[in-house]
Amino acid sequence: MSSDNLMTLNLKIWRQQNSKDSGKIQDYVLEGVSPDSSFLEMLDQLNEKLIAEGIDPVSFDHDCREGICGMCSLMINGQAHGPERETTTCQLHMRKFNDGDTVVIEPFRARAFPVLKDLMVDRGAFDEIIAAGGFTNVNTGNAPDANSILIPQSDAELAMDAAACIGCGACVASCKNASAMLFVSAKVSQLALLPQGQVEADQRVQNMVAKMDELGFGNCTNEAECEASCPKGISISNIARMNRDYLSAAVKSKAEPKA
Ligand code: FES
């Protein structure tokens, strides 16, 4: 590629030493950015420059860089994962930006996601919600013969769609209430839609919702920002399903005779 295509960007990046520091936006000018580089490669390029200048590099989360693990985050110009729909930060390319652009980069913000350093937040609250019920204890034995458990095609597809959630937290970061309902409902639905998930379904939904509330996530007020910002296109219909399952489980547990 000719060097004519390289861009200069004005970066405004949130810098915060630790969770106690108040933090502030710092300005950086980065020259020579290839439109073919990914957003994280652009940050790598910035960090190489900062290290060469003896400046502390910018901390940010990443792992697979393939849109699979859910580790990358970042609010880019006010949008979780940036301007491209259904795309994680690691899969976003700099060709989405123009030479001379100002790009504001901040961490995912929510009370339940405290900033650890710069652009890195602690999303351990999601792990706690999964530990509260996002699994099945049923012993399913060896792999069953194909078609020995018949599952309607529509249910199988809905379960697979819900299972696409990578737990990145964009739904929380983009919701004005910092609600985790899209994440929790996807994790509930991927099990509730399948026969193997039925055994503990009532307990699971009640435990996961209780843990979500306990950890300080807000309530859902049907803004649908979560769905719009989700890099995996998780549908808010999962929230409606979880609300129905929760209500049904709560009514059943109240109706059960006390020992
Ligand atoms: S680094 Fe794994 S999804 Fe982005």
- 3-class secondary structure per residue, 10-70: EEEEEECCCCCCCCEEEEEEEEEECCCCEHHHHHHHHHHHHHHCCCCCCCCCCCCCCCCCC
Residue 132 sits in the same domain as residue 100: no
CATH number for the domain including 66? Answer: 3.10.20.30
If you measure from the C-alpha of residue 202 to the centroid of ligand 1, how many angstroms do you get, rounded to a whole number?
32
Predicted TM-score (pTM) of the model is 0.93
Probe residue for ligand 1, chosen from 66, 92, 165 as the CB with the greatest number of ligand atoms within 8 Å: 66
Distance (Å, rounded) from C-alpha 120 to C-alpha 71? 10
If you measure from the C-alpha of residue 138 to the centroid of ligand 1, how many angstroms do you get, rounded to a whole number?
31
Residue 89 sits in the same domain as residue 152: no
Contact criterion met (CB below 8 Å) for 90 and 40? yes
The pLDDT, as a whole number, for residue 196 is 85
Residue 219 sits in the same domain as residue 104: no
Residue 66 sits in the same domain as residue 160: no
Probe residue for ligand 1, chosen from 60, 86, 87, 90 as the CB with the greatest number of ligand atoms within 8 Å: 90
Residue 76 sits in the same domain as residue 152: no
If you measure from the C-alpha of residue 61 to the centroid of ligand 1, how many angstroms do you get, rounded to a whole number?
8
Residue 142 sits in the same domain as residue 39: no
Residue ending a domain, among 116, 139, 174, is 116
The pLDDT, as a whole number, for residue 2 is 47
Probe residue for ligand 1, chosen from 41, 71, 84 as the CB with the greatest number of ligand atoms within 8 Å: 71
If you measure from the C-alpha of residue 40 to the centroid of ligand 1, how many angstroms do you get, rounded to a whole number?
10
Among protein residues, the one whose CA lies closest to atom 3 of ligand 1: 67
Contact criterion met (CB below 8 Å) for 33 and 45? yes
CB within 6 Å of ligand 1 — which residues? 62-65, 67-72, 88, 90, 166
Positions of the chain with pLDDT under 50: 1-2
Residue 59 sits in the same domain as residue 141: no
Residue 250 sits in the same domain as residue 133: yes
CATH number for the domain including 234? Answer: 1.10.1060.10
Residue ending a domain, among 100, 116, 132, is 116
Residue 245 sits in the same domain as residue 133: yes
Contact criterion met (CB below 8 Å) for 91 and 232? no
Residue 127 sits in the same domain as residue 246: yes
Summarised one tens digit per residue, pLDDT across range 101-138 is 999 999 999 999 999 999 999 999 999 999 999 998 87
| Residue 28 main-chain phi, psi, to 5 deg | -140, 145
The pLDDT, as a whole number, for residue 131 is 97
Residue ending a domain, among 89, 116, 143, is 116
Residue 129 sits in the same domain as residue 109: no
Report the number of distinct structural domains present in the chain.
2
The pLDDT, as a whole number, for residue 1 is 46
For β-strands 75-76 and 7-15, DSSP reports them as unpaired
Residue 139 sits in the same domain as residue 220: yes
Q: Identify the domain containing residue 251 by its residue range.
A: 123-255
- Taking the CA of residue 70 as reference, the ligand 1 atom at the shortest distance is 3
